[in-house]
Structure 1
Amino acid sequence: MHQRWTKCSSLIALAAALGTAATAQDAASFLTDPHLNVVPRTAAEAARIAAVTAATTDFTAAQKFEENAAGAATVRPRTDADAFSQPSGNISFEDQLDFRVGNGLFRKIWVSSPSSTLASDGLGPLFNARSCQRCHIKDGRGHPPETADDTSISMFLRISVPAIFTSTDADALGQIEGYIATLPDPVYGSQLQDFAVQGHTAEARMDIRYDEEVITLADGATVSLRHPTYSATDLGYGPLHRDAMLSPRVAPQMIGLGLLEAISTADILANADPDDADGDGISGRPNIVWSQVHDQPMLGRFGLKAGSPTVLEQSAAAFSGDIGISNPIFTAPAGECTILQTDCRAAIHGDGDDRLYEIDQVGLDLVTFYSRNLGVPARRRVDDPQVLLGKQVFYQTGCTACHTPSFVTQRLVDRPEQSFQLIWPYTDMLLHDMGPALADNRPEARATGREWRTPPLWGIGLTQQVSGHSYFLHDGRARSLLEAILWHGGEAAPQRNKVIELPTHERDALLAYLESL
């Protein structure tokens, strides 16, 4: 019951912290940035930031500094698959060593216990990958299977069931407006592992069936969208819970994470409009999650539904859930193995030596440092007339309502690479209802089954170069940027419809603009 009780107690703590008067906006108003060592902004700095991040109306030339997507941390664009694997452009010579060591740990192939390689044992027993790099190949995007027997995929199925609490607990959770409590599947945990070490049984295999839908654009061009249906087969531990909710997840690109982490929570919440008070049809909401490290509610920033507050906690959760590696934050030596998977929990693991955990705090911090400092490539073709026209279309069709172009990060004492940078990530970091077609119908904290965090767009034009494919969205169903746009529904349906009605040259310009990011 440890896994279920940990989740339950965190939910109750979150409810208690938010208090009985916590509406959607009130609950967010007290959120702080305990993960950042901040130097407060002066009034003059705040005024400069407001001016430099104001929406532009001039599309005759690129904006000042627009080419430097990550400010001083921007890196020179490369023409090979390593474009996402460079350290921040402003990293010190000394810190490059930590970056390289973190990269080594990110790429490390973990092995099962017992092993003579004590620093690398502890894999699984159940796992989705043997290394971080195995999913985030070249630090880029994962992809769904190309064929029925494709083993190079980098996606998995999350799983949860509706939570059942006592009446008192339910009352406490009811204090969080919009919060939908779920728990891991009692047998399979919170994600399905499709691999196991020798002598153990993998949990399941993911099957996908696609049905094509043809969309006709205003100029007569047609685009085919593939509708996926997911199922879990070859279940190794009996049937799933009757109310199990499955959600496919493709590994996202890794660039710029430290900069997204360094944006002020207040700046992100300033764009939230949960009740659509301005009447523009866009209702961005923050996800609020419990931080295991800081023991308090925090703004969710990372993951496809913004379910994790920091790069550190996201990294630690991936070590535990994806690879089965214990760490100081998620300490279970058997990773995702549940109490009903007795052989899995009883297996020999890699804890107990000088590391204490299968990856210790030093190793986890190095991987986190590496993940924070993967550089964002500079924009290409920023002054190209077609790209400038595409930028105008992007703005005038309303895409910036969710894909906020720019922020200025906090001034930080101990993270010079991310400190006080003008960045262009094209995300508001908020949750949006994307309609029934993209819904996974699986809640996560305050995110409903129809909501997703706005993904950053920086680097999106280099996907083919880095990852060898052009698959987009949370499950890779879109095979091109145009398909990804046409999948937008819910709050983004008006913007999608405007794109459908565009004349050919404007649609081509929009795609050229996205390819330049």
Structure 2
Amino acid sequence: MSMAQANTGGGDTTVSAAHQQAFSLPAANMPMAERLNFSVGNSFFRNPWVTAPASTTARDGLGPLFNTNGCQNCHIRDGRGHPPEFDGDNAVSMLVRLSVPAESEEDKATLKRLGVIPEPRYGDQLQDFAIPGTKPEGKVAIHYDTLNRRLADGTEVELRQPTVEITELNYGPLADDVRLSARIAPPMIGLGLLAAIPEQTLRSYADPEDKDADGISGRLNRVWSAELQKTVIGRFGWKAGQPSLRQQNAAAFHGDMGLTTSLFSDIPCGPTQTTCRAAPDGGEPEVSDNILDKVTFYTANLAVPARRNADDSNVKAGQRLFRHAGCQSCHIEKVSTGSSPHPWLREQVISPYTDLLLHDMGEGLADHRSEFLASGREWRTPPLWGIGLTDTVSGNAYYLHDGRARTLLEAILWHGGEAEQSRIKVEAMTQKERDTLVAFLKSL
């Protein structure tokens, strides 16, 4: 990779920005004629939705049950969300997935379509807000146990082990065998580029039988496409449970805000939630295909910021340590995009630092909740581009799927399973080497 490519992780789409709005800019090479579509999509992503009926008919239909009334409340300035930060804080940029184990032959059809068996009363996602006249499903609380990890040089690092608790349930008890999985909102940059990575490329990364005996056995998730009505590969979400940006957005409208689309047209109310089912709606569907397409255009074209200090000798040394630890086996540094509905995203050499595959990350990170082919120990490799701007953009820095890690080093120390040998190499580093590795990550 040339030095220019190393600095421009999003290829020609990269923008030079390191400020609070660094994740909210359009692809640098987007034609000016497309900027209006980007702005319209931004408007529906940023502004709140309201209850129906309302004079604002394009934005009504919120709820009756929901987690938030606007996309930006979770993806703060198009960046990363966070868990509740203190007792009594709401979980507005974190949600909790629910499911129960499959038990019957009838469950097979549900698994094929949803990837999970929803909890009988509350579905596959807990909604902790509701419109007037309807009770929310419950409240989310996160409790932490402290774990101390001693490194080879004697340094002790405090880690947080979270436990999810659901309180004030308004529609009866949860199933005894319910699985809970907390998820913070991921950053939004470069998603159209990830969508444009050829399927053949992703297949070439996969090694489910670990035939090369390197201890890395990533595999593709295979999920249901509501649009195509067939099973395809998954790319988006913490477990690669969504096949496309359009479906990812439609699922977020549905689960997070209680809004129907042409892809998910049922009102997200449980069988015992009678006031929810009786509440007024905002039309059928509440989010038109035109609005869904504009939001999808916006989320596909949020630019990747350029790296900072990439030429610094300390950062370069950190990159060598990153490779020495084997991190690039999953966080792949360089890939080329293929076809895309947006010509300016095609044939770009990008550095997302992900293979988009599922990997067993060990018992420490396990949520014991499967999703399509993803097991309860598997997670999709998250992209690392832009990770050094997390605090600048979001105003806080929490990492991993549930935000348990407060620093990049903490995030590394939670790696197990296929990443255990890489973690062990980091644990064996000197303090200076660990600081150098983190300096490299912060340059991304």
Q: TM-score, normalised by structure 2?
A: 0.97
Structure 1 residue 173 displacement after superposition: 10
The question of whether the paired residues in 2 share the 8 Å contact of 1:298 and 1:309 is answered with yes
Letter in 1 for 2:197: I
Cα distance in 2, alignment partners of residues 188 and 248 from structure 1: 15
Letter in 2 for 1:467: S
Partner of 1:85: 24
Aligned residues: 444
Structure 1 residue 64 displacement after superposition: 4.8
Structure 1 residue 66 displacement after superposition: 1.1
Cα distance in 1, alignment partners of residues 436 and 301 from structure 2: 32
Q: Is residue 337 of structure 1 aligned with residue 277 of structure 2?
A: no
Query: 5 Å matches for 1:49-198?
Result: 63-78=3-18, 80-151=19-90, 153-166=92-105, 182-198=116-132
Q: Is residue 217 of structure 1 aligned with residue 157 of structure 2?
A: no
Q: Is residue 507 of structure 1 aligned with residue 439 of structure 2?
A: no
Query: 5 Å matches for 1:227-238?
Result: 227-238=161-172
1:205-264 Cα deviation digits (max 9, x unpaired): 111111111112222222100111111111010001122111101000000000000000
The question of whether the paired residues in 2 share the 8 Å contact of 1:288 and 1:298 is answered with yes
Q: Is residue 391 of structure 1 aligned with residue 331 of structure 2?
A: no
Q: Is residue 349 of structure 1 aligned with residue 287 of structure 2?
A: no
SS at match of 1:96: helix
Query: 5 Å matches for 1:251-400?
Result: 251-332=185-266, 334=267, 336-351=268-283, 356-400=284-328
Cα distance in 1, alignment partners of residues 3 and 230 from structure 2: 39
Aligned with residue 403 of structure 2, among 476, 480, 487: 476
Cα distance in 1, alignment partners of residues 37 and 208 from structure 2: 41
The question of whether the paired residues in 2 share the 8 Å contact of 1:180 and 1:443 is answered with no
Which segment drifts farther, 481-490 or 180-189? 180-189
Cα distance in 2, alignment partners of residues 152 and 286 from structure 1: 30
SS at match of 2:363: coil
SS at match of 1:183: coil
Partner of 1:46: none
Structure 1 residue 305 displacement after superposition: 0.2
Cα distance in 1, alignment partners of residues 248 and 260 from structure 2: 14
Identity rate of aligned residues, in percent? 52
Aligned with residue 496 of structure 1, among 423, 429, 436: 423
Letter in 1 for 2:326: G
Cα distance in 2, alignment partners of residues 236 and 99 from structure 1: 40
Cα distance in 2, alignment partners of residues 291 and 182 from structure 1: 14
Cα distance in 2, alignment partners of residues 389 and 296 from structure 1: 46
Structure 2 unaligned segments of length 5 or more: list them: none
Q: Is residue 437 of structure 1 aligned with residue 377 of structure 2?
A: no
Which segment drifts farther, 415-424 or 115-124? 115-124
RMSD (Å), alpha carbons: 1.8
Structure 1 residue 116 displacement after superposition: 2.5
1:91-144 Cα deviation digits (max 9, x unpaired): 111101100110000012111122222222101000000011111110000001
SS at match of 2:69: coil
Letter in 2 for 1:70: G
Cα distance in 1, alignment partners of residues 98 and 196 from structure 2: 30
Cα distance in 2, alignment partners of residues 263 and 92 from structure 1: 21
